[in-house]
Structure 1
Amino acid sequence: MAATEQLFNVRERKRFERHDIWERIAENGTISAAVMVFAAIAAVICANTDAYEAVHHFLETPLYVGLGNLTAGLTVELFVNDFLMAIFFLLVGIELKYEMTVGELKNPRQAMLPMLAAVGGVVVPACIYLIFNHAGARNGWAIPMATDIAFALGVLSLLGNRVPNGVRVFFSTLAIADDLISIAAIAIFYGQSPNPFWLGAAALVTCALVWLNKTQHYRLAPYSVLGLLLWFCMFKSGVHATLAGVILAFTIPAKCGVKLDSLTDWLGECLPLLDDRYDDEAHILGQHDFTVSTTKVERVMHRVTPPLIRMERLISTPVNFVILPIFAFVNAQVRLVGVDMSTLLTDPVTLGVYFGMLLGKPIGIFGMTFALVKLKISELPHNVNWHMIAGVGILGGIGFTMSILISGLAFPTAQFEVLAAKAAILAGSVTAAVLGMIYMSVICKHPAPKDE
């Protein structure tokens, strides 16, 4: 604090303090999840009032993106689901790459239990859905299998230090593996028939991104430009365009452009030079040599942070507080006016999605974990018991963002099936959140012991 007081005046220090407060708010998963929930509630209310027609008309407004003759036509709703959600997938890809580089997915043996538990939490919900829809809307099998990582971890964070770190790590790794499976399902099962020309163009752009990475380009601008071009090519190709975000994330360098072991020595050489060139009696505008030297230091220090982290800092707040709430508002338009509720509640899609989320997730996650531990293939994390694994399974049924996205892809023209799926997703997510929160509150009554 003393160093900050020496560097800045009172007004600037207050600005820094406000910035720190905003950063803590932006990094709080509970707050961002709450904003998304409020947006979904607002959407449901709006969909069942007179405002629905105006909102629906706006979402169907045509947009055109591109340059010159290279244009793509889409509606506002499609822009949100295909373009803005590609930025969300970019953030998901960054998190996956981080975990695979230095996180829980770096150690295959440590990550194996939650990753295989995620497989169980995908297979069982899909099977339950197909039991209800074996003779009907089978294309929606992937809807109940996705866990909303932001929403679920936000609910878990409400319990504070009562939840052992092992549970958080297990659930985080499981949710990340769940995202990987969902991304693969979208890529393989929910794309259109690919256009060979645009698919080839997307491959060329991907090669250019890989080349940037291999030749150690550390500026974000070329990656961003090629990322936009990749999105356009994938949108035109018929492959779901949001996958461009994941591809872009895995090509952005995770290393910095500075030899960190020599950084301290270099700074030691620069500081005396800055001190010599600074004149405390002259205006800063007249100290050309000093400002040139400081600009050089700024450029080098900027490169200390890897481009992957810089991109994450750039998009994380807009994704959590702008893009996901917009997505929730656009896609949670569940209009029940004039709908036969008995038909909706008994529809196979509604039942398959709801029970797939509420029963399939805990059965799949707990069952796979139990089998792996009893077969001595793996063991439970430190300070984690079977009651907590069951709680993780219940919370795994929170499947908001990815489930809603898949429902639109599974039933692009079947409006009633989309309505049934979205209604079940909202009901299932809320039920899983409430039950999971109550259950975890009961079994985690006291602060968790510190990990050794």
Structure 2
Amino acid sequence: MSSSPPTSTPTPSGFTDRLRHFLHDEAAGGVVLVVAAVAAVVWANSPASGAYTSFWGHYLTLGWGPAAITEDLQHWVNDGLMAVFFFVVGLEIKRELVTGELRDPRAAALPAVAAVGGVLLPAAIFLALTSGPASAGWGIPMATDIAFAVGVLALLGKRVPVGAKLLLLTAAIVDDIIAIGVIAVFYTDTVSALWLAGAVASLAVVVLLRRLGVHAIWPYVLVGLAAWVCTLESGVHATIAGVALGLLTPTGSVGGRDVLDTLEHRLHPFSSFLIVPLFALANAGVDFRGGLFGEAMGSSLTWAIALGLVVGKIVGICAAVWLCVRTGLGRLPEGVRPLHVAGVSAVAGIGFTVSLFIAELAYTDPALVATAKVGIFTGSIAAAVLGVTVMVLAGRRGASGRSTGERSESTSTTP
């Protein structure tokens, strides 16, 4: 047996660097997202509230002739720009599956099981508290807003161990995978088989271009645009095309460059600092005047969402993690204690962006949409406050434990 030390592969360090940049962008993007959301609420409740409604309701036509698409500005953001956001999500999912935590089944078991627990229980709580048309929004409390959640943990700095941040990020990505499936399957009204076939054919062309060794990006952009149009016209939400294209992006070196890394490096800041804040500005503007807030607080829909995001996420994730560790299916990351898991579970209840997105898909009644948004605001704020409180407590207990250990070691070594 050789006595030389084992050589380490460059992948882990490279992945750590990419993870650090990803977390930095998400944390900073979370701050911009908060500013945009506050601006939307202020605008919608100001004397210029009519301008808010009319601006985002203004129709814009792109294209010409039979190929022209007409949408209001809010839907251009939700259906168009958010496809880029979901493309970046697809890229990150692909990276996690190939080089990240999800590539190892045993390492992926804990965050995957945690995400499932944090999806099923919120949906169950929601369905138990709602009935009739309101029950269509059961997917709303399932979501976790990565930018907001990571931003909250970033505010706590070194009080949060790296393992806890990684657990949150990986579980949130699995949560995104589930949410994407829910949007595609359950929030699609009618499907045009012809247009859907066109979308599938466009994705097949992407695969063909890869097989032919096409390295230039512009052909993929054109085919990707065709896939987006076909998906939009098919009845399946257009953002699914973004996810599919992200998952088809190759990893590793292609034509002398890392395509996935290049695309993510270029698009992730654009997504975090422009697209997601624009989405918040277009969708978070709820006019609370005229008794809306009081009415919403008396609605079972509001509490179904809020309790799903807070109680459902905390109990669902904590129970799933406990079961996973107890059965030996997975183990906690280094430096992560049960109280950290509780804090991560609470922060995962910040469902702002994707929750708002699903609310717009689930309801056609403006009153239900407005009430759902109040529930999302209430639950997400409560989850953030509770998560910060638990994480601060976990940090103090950890510091207290280390101090006790140091004193004990000092006493035991005293002659």
TM class by shorter chain equals 0.7 to 0.9
Q: Which of residues 151, 173, 196 is equivalent to 1:154? A: 151
Match of 1:296 in 2: none
**Does structure 1 residue 75 correspond to structure 2 residue 72?**
yes
Q: Which of residues 249, 253, 256 is equivalent to 1:256? A: 253
Distance 1:98 1:26 in 2: 14
Which ranges of structure 1 fall in alignment gaps of 5 or more residues? 1-22, 258-302
Distance 1:179 1:234 in 2: 19
Give the number of equivalent residue pairs. Answer: 381
Distance 1:408 1:365 in 2: 26
Match of 2:385 in 1: 434
Q: Which of residues 93, 101, 106 is equivalent to 1:104? A: 101
Contact preservation (8 Å) 2:40, 2:285? yes
- CA RMSD in angstroms comes to 1.9
Distance 1:125 1:318 in 2: 31
Q: Which of residues 342, 346, 350 is equivalent to 2:302? A: 350
Match of 2:16 in 1: none
3-state SS in 1 of match to 2:101: coil
The one-letter amino acid paired with 1:190 is Y
Contact preservation (8 Å) 1:147, 1:402? yes
Q: Compared with structure 1, are the counterparts of its residues 342 and 368 closer, same or farther at alpha carbon in structure 2 (3 Å cutoff)?
A: same
3-state SS in 2 of match to 1:74: strand
Match of 1:288 in 2: none
The one-letter amino acid paired with 1:192 is D
TM-score by length of 1: 0.81
Match of 1:333 in 2: 285
Match of 2:39 in 1: 42
Q: Compared with structure 1, are the counterparts of its residues 26 and 358 closer, same or farther at alpha carbon in structure 2 (3 Å cutoff)?
A: closer
Match of 2:11 in 1: none
TM-score by length of 2: 0.88
Q: Compared with structure 1, are the counterparts of its residues 24 and 378 closer, same or farther at alpha carbon in structure 2 (3 Å cutoff)?
A: closer
**Does structure 1 residue 363 correspond to structure 2 residue 315?**
yes
Contact preservation (8 Å) 1:143, 1:404? yes
Distance 1:84 1:335 in 2: 24
Q: Which of residues 354, 358, 367 is equivalent to 1:406? A: 358
Offset of 1:232 from its aligned partner?
Answer: 0.6
Encode CA deviations 1:160-186: one digit per residue, 9 max, x unaligned. 222222212211110000000000000
Match of 1:186 in 2: 183
3-state SS in 2 of match to 1:69: helix
Match of 2:261 in 1: 309
Match of 1:416 in 2: 367
Which ranges of structure 2 fall in alignment gaps of 5 or more residues? 1-19, 403-415
3-state SS in 1 of match to 2:206: helix
Distance 1:136 1:54 in 2: 30
Encode CA deviations 1:95-133: one digit per residue, 9 max, x unaligned. 101111101111011101110110010010001111110
Distance 1:371 1:317 in 2: 37
Offset of 1:255 from its aligned partner?
Answer: 2.7
Offset of 1:157 from its aligned partner?
Answer: 1.7
Offset of 1:305 from its aligned partner?
Answer: 2.6
Offset of 1:315 from its aligned partner?
Answer: 1.2
Distance 2:54 2:224 in 1: 30
Encode CA deviations 1:224-280: one digit per residue, 9 max, x unaligned. 1111111111111110001111111122222323xxxxxxxxxxxxxxxxxxxxxxx
1:128-167 paired onto structure 2 within 5 Å: 128-167=125-164
Larger radius of gyration: 1
1:201-220 paired onto structure 2 within 5 Å: 201-220=198-217
Percent identical among aligned pairs is 39
1:148-297 paired onto structure 2 within 5 Å: 148-257=145-254
Contact preservation (8 Å) 1:99, 1:106? yes
Offset of 1:60 from its aligned partner?
Answer: 1.2
Q: Compared with structure 1, are the counterparts of its residues 140 and 378 closer, same or farther at alpha carbon in structure 2 (3 Å cutoff)?
A: same
The one-letter amino acid paired with 1:431 is A
The one-letter amino acid paired with 1:382 is E
